Amino acid sequence: MKKIISGKLYSTDTAECVAKWDNGKFTNDMWYVSVDLYRTKTGNWFVHKVYGHGDNGIAVLTAEEVLAWVEEHDLSEEETGKISEVLNVEEASEEITRLTLRLPEETYGRIWKIHTETRKSINSIIIDLINNGLE
């Protein structure tokens, strides 16, 4: 499949398929979903989605969105290792606690502005702000 997004061609024929996931349904089931993660030769990421009811499409992902996608899907050890190597993901060296954080829209907007200026993940920005506030 090929699709032009923001003036760039994304093609499943020329990009490297890095990971594959499906929901375990039969391909002819209308609830079937398959998502393949691709990386272009220039380092851009995208997913190719196929649905049992016939629709399919391509969506571009940022590196942060790729990491979130990997966390949400049960990938093989090989696929996870390959992606984390490409994205330079650090190995966990301390306990991590997940939590849901509700922020006022204005506060989130300020954090998003930092993200767009620095390309740091939202998570890293919030951790830095908390750690700086605790010092």
Position 10 scores a pLDDT of: 95
- Whole-number pLDDT of residue 81: 86
How high is the pLDDT of residue 93?
A: 61
Please state, in angstroms and rounded to a whole number, the distance separating the CA atoms of residues 44 and 17: 12
Per-residue H/E/C for 7-71: CEEEECCCCEEEEEEECCCCCCCCCCEEEEEEECCCCCEEEEEEECCCCEEEEEECHHHHHHHHH
Name the 3-class secondary structure at 5.
Answer: strand
Block mean pLDDT (10 aa), the chain, length 135: 92 95 91 94 93 88 90 86 81 71 91 85 87 87
